């Protein structure tokens, strides 16, 4: 009797780049399906099911988002230098599956919640940057096709997130919280099954460690480190004061990294670094506003938004509070193609819009979004606002995201010397995480007293009205300030272009 043959990797010459890309694309789609499905209902779960106050829920979600955004800085290093991008991506997907399974476990205990959130945060750190790195390696040496691949890649992210944000709250309403969380886990399982079937198409792709034999001791050390990280993250999430201290330490570390990098850089590199620092600060300010989607705007939808969409007196469809988050990826998908077409036309006529100008326009859109929400609350004739207000407000905020957030990593790629790019990319991820936590702290300006999800709409509406007015004013101030800094940005950009010409 012969032992069954072990499947061997397909020869690179027999696998097209498109086939390899499809494998990574599908596991990324299902990973985002799981994450955004969880995001749509987790804050509501804490408020409505666990009875957490708005303030506690916002800060817990903010700390979780901060750790989740910052973790890829470490995961990327593990993939590049230690385990390999392909192996680390797979380990991250398995870890995420376990995290969502813990979230789906039928209990209302908080210990399991913190364990699940810690597992998801660590899993995201292992998965996220390495999946993107796999795409880069698949199209290495073909920049034109790489741009197109990333366009499809991010479109898949938005498709997966839209479906899950609409589906998971619907499942929650009909079958319960844990069934909805279970769907997030099911998405990751489907992604892993697909990877198991198609993995030979990417077995030749990866970083240097992927091409070396996997030592059991190394794998055991990585898994042990991941388990330790889960315990640490769970502890941080459970203690608000510790989480706050970690955020401030992370912010101080980013500033220290910037100062150290600037001091060690050549004179010709400094204009680009200063430009990157300036635009990164602007990105951080944007993410404070962006974080309102999953915090204050979600609770606003729960308490002060009509859930029935009507047009000319005809009922169209009904949404629950969490489903309004789907407006963000929907608008991203609608606005991305015309915006890309506009950029191409401007570029073809020699009228390229600078990154600094795009950031400025993005903040103007953010101000417009919160103006819509403030005016709708300020002049409301009922404590329940039309859901169409959410549509237009989200539209402006999403356009701002395309102009600001989507350009964040491009800033690092454009202005940072290649020898520093990986290091500074990690600092960018950490700075984004800090901003997400600060955004949750801002959301607490509209924290309704400990009423769970049952606040009186007439009492909560003035609270949200005040928050939206303050955010509108802050966005206007930011827009004005960044307009004043535009000449400085242009000067730094010219100096950078001259130095790198």
pLDDT in tens, 145-157: 666 666 677 777 8
CATH number (3.40.50.10860, 3.10.180.10, 1.10.10.60, 1.20.1250.20) of 10-238 reads: 1.20.1250.20
Confidence of residue 337 (pLDDT cuts 50, 70, 90): confident
In the block, residue with structure tokens 């899993």: 123
Residue in 424, 417, 481 with CA at minimum distance from that of residue 282: 481
Residue 453 scores a pLDDT above 60: no
Residue 9 scores a pLDDT above 90: no
Residue 142 scores a pLDDT above 70: no
> pLDDT > 70: what percent of the chain?
92
Residues facing 314 on adjacent strands: 311
- Mean pLDDT, rounded, for 68-87: 87
Residue 187 scores a pLDDT above 90: yes
Confidence of residue 321 (pLDDT cuts 50, 70, 90): very high
pLDDT in tens, 33-51: 999 999 999 999 999 999 8
In the block, residue with structure tokens 């309102």: 292
Give the pLDDT of residue 454.
62
Contact 359, 403 (CB under 8 A): yes
Does this model's pTM top 0.75? My answer is yes
Residue in 409, 400, 388, 385 with CA at minimum distance from that of residue 471: 400
User: How far is 76 from 85, CA to CA, in rounded Å?
Assistant: 8
> Strands, DSSP E only, in 366-490?
none
CATH architecture for segment(s) 252-501 = Up-down Bundle (1.20)
Q: Where in the chain are all domains bearing CATH 1.20.1250.20?
A: 10-238, 252-501
């Amino acid at each position: 009797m012969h032992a069954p043959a072990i499947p061997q990797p397909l020869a690179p010459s027999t696998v097209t780049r498109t086939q390899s890309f499809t494998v990574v694309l599908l596991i990324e789609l299902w990973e985002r399906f799981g994450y955004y499905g969880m995001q749509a209902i987790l804050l509501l779960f804490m408020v409505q099911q666990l009875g957490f106050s708005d303030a506690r829920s916002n800060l817990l979600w903010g700390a979780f988002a901060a750790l989740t955004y910052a973790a890829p800085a470490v995961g990327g290093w593990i993939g590049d230098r230690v385990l390999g991008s392909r192996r680390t991506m797979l380990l991250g997907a398995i870890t995420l599956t376990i995290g969502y399974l813990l979230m789906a476990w039928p209990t209302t205990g908080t210990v399991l919640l913190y364990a699940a959130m810690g597992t998801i945060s660590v899993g995201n750190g292992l998965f996220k940057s390495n999946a993107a790195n796999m795409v880069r390696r698949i199209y290495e040496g073909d920049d034109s096709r790489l741009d197109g691949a990333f366009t499809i890649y991010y479109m898949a992210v938005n498709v997966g997130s839209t479906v899950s944000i609409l589906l998971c709250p619907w499942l929650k309403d009909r079958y319960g919280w844990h069934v909805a969380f279970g769907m997030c886990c099911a998405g990751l399982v489907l992604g892993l099954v697909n990877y198991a079937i198609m993995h030979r198409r990417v077995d030749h792709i990866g970083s240097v460690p992927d091409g070396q034999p996997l030592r059991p001791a190394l794998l055991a050390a990585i898994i042990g480190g991941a388990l330790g990280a889960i315990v640490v993250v769970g502890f941080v999430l459970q203690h608000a004061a510790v989480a706050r201290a970690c955020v401030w330490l992370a912010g101080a570390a980013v500033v220290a990294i910037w100062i150290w990098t600037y001091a060690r850089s050549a004179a010709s590199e400094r204009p680009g670094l200063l430009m990157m620092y300036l635009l990164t600060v602007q990105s951080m300010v944007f993410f404070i506003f962006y974080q309102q989607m999953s915090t204050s705007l979600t609770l606003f939808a729960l308490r002060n938004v009509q859930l029935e969409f009507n047009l000319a007196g005809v009922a169209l469809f009904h949404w629950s509070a969490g489903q309004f988050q789907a407006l963000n990826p929907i608008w991203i998908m609608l606005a991305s193609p015309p915006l890309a077409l506009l950029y191409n036309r401007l570029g073809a006529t020699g009228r390229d819009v600078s990154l600094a100008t795009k950031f400025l326009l993005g903040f103007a859109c953010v101000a417009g979004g919160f103006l819509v929400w403030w005016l709708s609350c300020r002049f409301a004739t009922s404590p329940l606002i039309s859901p169409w207000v959410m549509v237009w407000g989200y539209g402006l905020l999403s356009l701002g995201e395309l102009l600001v957030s989507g350009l964040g990593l491009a800033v690092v790629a454009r202005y940072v010397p290649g020898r520093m790019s990986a290091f500074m990319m990690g600092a960018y991820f950490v700075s984004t995480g800090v901003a997400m936590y600060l955004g949750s702290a801002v959301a607490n300006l509209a924290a309704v007293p400990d009423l769970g999800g049952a606040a009186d709409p007439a009492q909560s509406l003035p609270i949200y009205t005040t928050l939206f007015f303050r955010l509108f004013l802050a966005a206007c101030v930011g827009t004005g300030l960044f307009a004043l800094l535009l000449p400085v940005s242009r000067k730094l950009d010219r100096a950078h272009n001259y130095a790198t010409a």
